[in-house]
Structure 1
């Protein structure tokens, strides 16, 4: 039997480009699927940073064009292999080689219509037709639609099976219905019959959910939450219709990149045997580097996050007095809402040596925070999966999380009677419960050090790799009759 072919289509992927957790998934999961005997390839846009950084290793494949707004727009396709996975890059300087963010532009609909059309024509140009096309998030939601509606007489496209993964339902790719004909080459009857309609426009996310053969999301709890009005982002009824085809599979992390034993960014590497000794040394190094009071025994809690309401940072703002009053230090790395940034700067100015805020992102510092801290705070309002809690557990840093989405699925709350657990949690989205969870972590750390050490061992023994999840994705693919 020939090797089964899977094409991942996404807006970003490590090691080439990242703006969020999507890039971690698309960068890590194909490697694991490869080990299961699948031929997995990835296609993403060629952004400016990739063009500048990876230009030498990219190999030209071919040139062709796609029709956007009734004009033939050129496409250049490049390729590279990283860790045995072949990556393709869709090049268009005007659309993708921009300074700043990867998306959030006025013409995002047109840009990603172009990308999706370029991917479908790539299959024709290369005579490469995967058994499964695995599309990710709103940027690729129209791929199943175009495959099924625009190639009605071409079995090469009609035989492709489609898996669509929702990474964050809050970002849906909602655009004007005028795009249907001009950019996507789709009939207006798909708007009229409601298949792709959302309010008075179209939704890339909704379209992917409706047209894909299988829909997945990034944790079992989130798969249930998005069927409700509280988390469904006005797509809950559409998701309820597809509930039989919807499955939640929790993310993993790349344990080669995130490994305290080998992590080159750490002053002191460690494993389960010397974690307690070397964590204190890492803590002292972090305290010194960031201007915190140097004390290897004080409890340090870290946050590496976007400073937004979704991530629960407004709860941290509200309860800052109670957090600062506690016997601990706080390290925040991230950027986001200007009022939260300004608030944290003011807190740092008034609490030197106890609270530090690093505005922006620094990859090495992120690794050092995971390794040096005792606790890791994630009070999210909603969290489809979350990767930070998986990293922190792997580094022996106990997460303090709200019980939502993937946080609920991956963090086992401390049980003082059985000594089970890999962290601490709270149920409802309010500041008092968050502070209570932090205080419980502090109490365990200072008053029950034996229990705390057991939780650290439990956390580090947790399998957070992609191995198990990759098998679950293969199970999804295996459900297709033609695949077997």
Structure 2
């Protein structure tokens, strides 16, 4: 089976969030299950010369988009056993800032969606399934059914659409559907929702299967609280909706070989974990105290990640005698809060503003616990990475956190500490249970139980293959 994985970001080439991690590891896992999976993404100006040097130019052509024809160049390369296609248009993708957040987002990704299909008419590749991801590729199923079903090469192609975060839907004024996206009048209804253009709604209508990144999230988004206005559409389309839990790249995230760490460790040789903790305490200018529990947070500092709970409970958490390390940036109110807490408690709190990939791995490896009190979390990868590096997650049981973290006190054993309601006192109760474990005779169970967890892509890839074959 031939799968074309269409995405707006992919690690290691261009990344801003969890989608890049998925796009960078799921295709390789699908190949191991027997699929021929290729990836197609924009050629951003930020993609470095070290990658461009390995690319080969294939072809170029014009992409009809409303009243204009836009240039598209196609480059390709092999990486990690997967073939990648990069679509080049400097007007849309050579930008000085990040990969998102521009005034012409609708036009940029309407072009990309149309160019994906146009590319398939110019290269020697005929996918059975185009797997689209989030709103940036949501117009692919729409364009396929409106413009390309009469093309022999694409007449049998199926589409799958994965919702990584339903909060971001690609919503614009309805005139954009005509003047920018170039949809004919008879097709406007496919993307119109509540008087606006909603690209994700178009994908939900036109694709043949809808997936989300965890089974619990697939249920949650049917509810108005989580559905961000699309829950009525999803309830209508529930027959084609499923949830498949993401995995992580267990080769890239491997504490027994990670060059970023002060020492390596594994289930059989766990001694290096203590050395990583000592190195992190030294690096963060915290007292080197091996018996003091160290709790970490690595996240975007935004409200739906639960930082209002952390702000409310932080002083009580610190009274438990722990050290806290935070890495992240986002809303100014949270950046200022953590900077202020660090000034008031320099012996217990270390905050680094921004995202530093090497430091994030060192934090995972040095931490005893990892806090994720999310208000909503479609899947979450950080809790899986934390367990991979021997840190016990403390999470609110929502979305993928509910599917991946089992409470420690569950009969048969768990792999973390959970709380149910979005409440600071409930979060504090879970933190205190974790501290109780740390200071008990059962502390020795923490590291081996964490390191034995398997969140590789193997199981998820089999589920995706079953979904593809069931179309």
TM-score in terms of structure 1 length: 0.95
Q: Which residue of 1 aligns with 2:459?
A: 468
Contact 2:62-2:71 at 8 Å conserved across structures: yes
Question: Which of residues 433, 436, 441 in structure 2 aligns to 1:443?
Answer: 436
Q: Report the counterpart of residue 413 of structure 2 in structure 1.
A: 420
RMSD: 1.3
In 1: Cα distance, 2:469 partner to 2:441 partner: 47
Candidates 168, 174, 178, aligned match of 1:181? 178
Superposed, 1:35-46 pairs within 5 Å as 35-46=32-43
Contact 2:215 2:399 in 1 (8 A): yes
Secondary structure of the equivalent of 1:357? strand
In structure 2, C-alpha distance between the alignment counterparts of 1:190 and 1:309, rounded to whole Å:
37
2:427 partner SS: helix
Farther off after superposition, 354-363 or 181-190 = 181-190
2:201 paired residue among 188, 193, 206 = 206
Shift of 1:17: 1.1
Quote the Cα distance in structure 1 between the aligned partners of 2:408 and 2:463.
Answer: 28
Cα offsets for 1:186-234 (capped at 9, x unmatched): 222333xx43112221111111111110000000000000000110110
* Aligned pairs, number: 471
Confirm or deny: 8 A CA contact 1:280 1:297 kept in the other structure. no
The CA deviation at 1:53 is: 4.2
1:266 maps onto 2:258 in alignment: no
2:368 corresponds to 1:377: no
Runs (4 or more) in structure 1 with deviation over 3 Å come to none
CA 1:345–1:385: 2 relative to 1, 3 Å: same
Taking the aligned partners of 1:284 and 1:376, their CA distance within structure 2 comes to 17
**Residue of 117, 124, 127 corresponding to 2:121:** 124
- Aligned to 1:98, the other structure's residue is in SS state coil
Tell me, yes or no, if structure 1 residue 403 matches structure 2 residue 397.
yes
Alignment partner of 1:250 is 2:234: no
CA distance in 2, matches of 1:189, 1:51: 42
Q: Distance in 2 between matches of 1:157 and 1:142?
A: 15
Which of 456, 472, 477 is equivalent to 2:447?
456
Gap change, CA 1:371 and 1:51, over 3 Å in 2: closer
Q: Residue 24 in 1 paired to residue 17 in 2? A: no
Matched residues in 1 for 2:191 and 2:152: separation?
23
Distance in 2, matches of 1:183 and 1:67, equals 11
Counterpart in the other structure of 1:215:
210
Among residues 106, 110, 113, which one is paired with 2:110 in the alignment?
113
Greater mean alpha carbon deviation, residues 146-155 or residues 333-342: 146-155
8 Å Cα contact 1:150/1:185 also seen in 2: no
- CA shift, 1:128, in A, is 2.1
Question: Paired residue for 2:355, among 355, 361, 371?
Answer: 361
Q: Is the 8 A contact 1:390 1:464 kept in 2?
A: yes
**In the alignment, is residue 136 of structure 1 matched against residue 133 of structure 2?**
yes
In structure 1, stretches of 5+ residues that fail to align are none
Gaps of 5+ in 2: none
Match of 2:322 in 1: 328
Aligned to 2:236: 241
Any idea what SS the aligned residue of 1:195 has?
Answer: helix
**Cα drift, residue 274 of structure 1:** 3.0
